[in-house]
Amino acid sequence: MRLLLVEDEARLAHALQRGLRADGFAVDVAGDGPGGLARAREGGYDAIILDVMLPGLSGYRIVRSLRQEQNWVPVLMLSAKDGEHDQADGLDCGADDYLTKPFSYVVLVARLRALLRRGAPRRPVVLTAGPVTLDPGSRAVTYAGAPVELTGREFDLLEYLMRRPDTVLTKTELLDHVWDASPQTDPNLVEVYVGYLRRKLDRSLIATVRGSGYRLVSAASGGV
Amino acid sequence: MRLLLVEDEARLAHALQRGLRADGFAVDVAGDGPGGLARAREGGYDAIILDVMLPGLSGYRIVRSLRQEQNWVPVLMLSAKDGEHDQADGLDCGADDYLTKPFSYVVLVARLRALLRRGAPRRPVVLTAGPVTLDPGSRAVTYAGAPVELTGREFDLLEYLMRRPDTVLTKTELLDHVWDASPQTDPNLVEVYVGYLRRKLDRSLIATVRGSGYRLVSAASGGV
DNA sequence: GGCCCGCCTGAGAGCCGCCTGAGAAGCTGA
DNA sequence: TCAGCTTCTCAGGCGGCTCTCAGGCGGGCC
């Protein structure tokens, strides 16, 4: 079993590499983002262990690039931040599992083995909610079968909503995840973009939960 | 000259890739059988270097599948086993040449060049997208039936786009595959060449996906 | 029913990504 | 060596996208 470890903290990288080798894995190490992405693109790995905070290119962006290129190698993400950004961020980008630093080595290996058992047969996912489909790979959206043109921000927002259908999402949460914005950003921004989506898609697709936030209705009527 | 290297030993793959690049080839790498077959099916390679022992799908079966699908791309096979299976096995399956590990890099390149000189015996594939046709064999392009003169780079870019119609391709990916360039190359280069193609072909053939990249529209109108 | 506050929306400013023309550098063949 | 072509670089400009702002609507509480 061949692994790619992308980790910039040399001490941790070294320790992991030694441990994993002792456990029978072949381990290659990349120390920065661009290098990691390049190695990952070359293929040949049964799984990739990926730190989030990397010089040059974040782990998030690496996974997103790989998935966009139809590369479905299993990815286990490591994050030092357990509050600011959360699991969902990593999983959104297309990672398969997530571990928060500090973690136990035993847990890492267990999760890794689970990933490898599962393998990489994941097909490119297309999200669906009522008459709306969204393909993260080609960044294409259709409504009732017809293609819909969305801007980048509109697409990101819709994707985030569609990954959590029927859940109330606060504006703060959306600002944080879709915009990567500071907490004091005007929440009106979200309202504006929800308005854009409603106009381009379906007025009833995104329900307002007054005082709380918004909720994507997965069983949208499709009428007008 | 574009090569596909299917090899699961990451270290060997990496070394070969580096060497071949230095020798002027553009090299894509696949690390397992199914991945290699998929990449090979996409076409666009002047030759394929194929390991016999691969996870998921043996090199033999890959060649057999390709030949069954009328894909006559030159294949050079690599095998670690020099006794159990022999040259005849590989050549029977439809490979064009055969090398036993360990081999000298110089020999590999020599055999490869011989293969490339010989070329693929039959090239039945012609790519089509709306009013545009592209023949990888003769490197000829037509628009609405009339021949169009493209430079080398223009042709390579168009071919890459036409092999992945309706998919968003980032500038980085295009630079990587069409130019075989380092990641820090100015992405404007892609913009310029997309502009050239649009001018020579159809303005609407290649859609800009702002913030993401470009997408070849397979159902282009053909108008104008 | 009246008021407050949260949400909606139209208009517009600023910015950034993309497009393009011009030209330098490199390559090829005569 | 030179001409012609291709490839690539650079800078200027345009336009779409993002975000801000202010005014209006309406739901909910009293």
Q: Name residues 160-219 of chain A within 8 A of B (Cβ).
A: none
Nucleotides of C under 7 A from a protein CB: 6-11, 17-22
Confidence (pLDDT) at A117: 67
Task: Read off the pLDDT of each residue in A157-186 and give the average, rounded to a whole number.
Answer: 86
The residue of A37, A57, A67, A139 whose CB has the most chain B CBs within 10 angstroms, and thus the best one to mutate to test that interface, is A139
Query: Is A21's Cβ below 8 Å from some Cβ in B?
Result: no
Confidence of residue A119 (pLDDT cuts 50, 70, 90): low
What are the b/e assignments for B54-81, b being 16+ CB within 10 Å?
Answer: bebbbbbebbebbeeeebbbbbbbbbee
HSE, side-chain direction, 13 A CA sphere, residue B200: 18
Residue A142 has pLDDT above 80, yes or no: yes
**Nearest-by-Cβ selection for B167 from A38, A45, A138:** A138
Task: Read off the pLDDT of each residue in A202-210 and give the average, rounded to a whole number.
Answer: 90
User: Is the C-beta atom of B152 closer than 7 angstroms to strand C?
Assistant: no
The span from the CA of A60 to the CA of A43, in Å, is 18
| Residue B50 β-bridge partners | B6, B77
User: Is the C-beta atom of B217 closer than 7 angstroms to strand D?
Assistant: no
Query: Is A24's Cβ below 8 Å from some Cβ in B?
Result: no
Please tell me the least confidently modeled range out of A154-168, B74-88, B119-133.
B74-88
Task: Read off the pLDDT of each residue in B207-222 and give the average, rounded to a whole number.
Answer: 81
Nucleotides of D under 7 A from a protein CB: 5-11, 16-22, 27-28
Confidence (pLDDT) at A215: 93
Confidence (pLDDT) at B70: 63
Q: How would you class B167 by CB atoms within 10 Å of its CB: exposed for 0-12, middle for 13-18, buried for 19 or more?
A: buried
**Nearest-by-Cβ selection for A43 from B11, B31, B173:** B31
SS3 B218: coil
Confidence (pLDDT) at B81: 54
Q: Which residue has the higher pLDDT, A191 or B179?
A: A191
Element (H, E) at B43: none
- Determine the length of chain B: 224
Confidence (pLDDT) at B198: 95
Confidence (pLDDT) at B124: 43
The span from the CA of B160 to the CA of B144, in Å, is 20
- Note whether B215 contacts A138, CB cutoff 8 Å: yes
Query: Is B9's Cβ below 8 Å from some Cβ in A?
Result: yes
| Mean pLDDT over each residue of chain B, to the nearest integer | 80
Count CB-CB contacts under 10 A for residue A170.
Answer: 15
CB B1 within 8 A of CB B116: yes
Cα separations (Å) of A218 from A6, A94, B23, B37, B53?
37, 21, 54, 37, 46
pLDDT in tens, B162-203: 877 888 888 988 888 788 777 778 899 999 999 999 999 988
Confidence (pLDDT) at A157: 94
Question: Which residues in chain A are closer than 8 Å to B215, comparing Cβ atoms?
Answer: 138
Task: Read off the pLDDT of each residue in A132-141 and give the average, rounded to a whole number.
Answer: 84
Give the nucleotide nearest to B186 (CA→C1'): D9
Confidence (pLDDT) at B224: 37
pLDDT in tens, A28-67: 888 888 888 888 877 668 889 999 888 877 788 788 778 7
Task: Read off the pLDDT of each residue in B118-129 and give the average, rounded to a whole number.
Answer: 61
**Nearest-by-Cβ selection for B29 from A28, A43, A68:** A43
- Note whether B166 contacts A26, CB cutoff 8 Å: no
Locate A74 and state its tokens. Answer: 């299993």
pLDDT in tens, B62-74: 887 787 566 778 8
SS3 B77: strand
The span from the CA of A96 to the CA of A93, in Å, is 9
Residue A88 has pLDDT above 70, yes or no: no
Which of B19, B39, B22 shows the shortest CA–CA distance to B30?
Answer: B39
Task: Read off the pLDDT of each residue in A122-140 and give the average, rounded to a whole number.
Answer: 77
Confidence (pLDDT) at B197: 95
Please tell me the least confidently modeled range out of A29-43, A161-175, B28-42.
A29-43
Q: Which residue is nearest to nucleotide C21 (CA to C1')?
A: B192
Confidence of residue A224 (pLDDT cuts 50, 70, 90): very low
pLDDT in tens, A65-77: 787 666 778 899 8
- Note whether B29 contacts A38, CB cutoff 8 Å: no
The span from the CA of A202 to the CA of A188, in Å, is 20
pLDDT in tens, B77-121: 887 654 444 444 555 556 777 777 777 787 788 778 877 776 655
Cα separations (Å) of B183 from A34, A138, B81, B82?
8, 21, 38, 40
CB A40 within 8 A of CB A5: no
Confidence (pLDDT) at B110: 78
Q: Which residue has the higher pLDDT, A206 or A56?
A: A206
| Mean pLDDT over each residue of chain A, to the nearest integer | 81
Locate B157 and state its tokens. Answer: 């870019």
Q: What is the DSSP string of B145-204?
A: TEEE---HHHHHHHHHHHHSTT-EE-HHHHIIIII---TTS-THHHHHHHHHHHHHS-TT
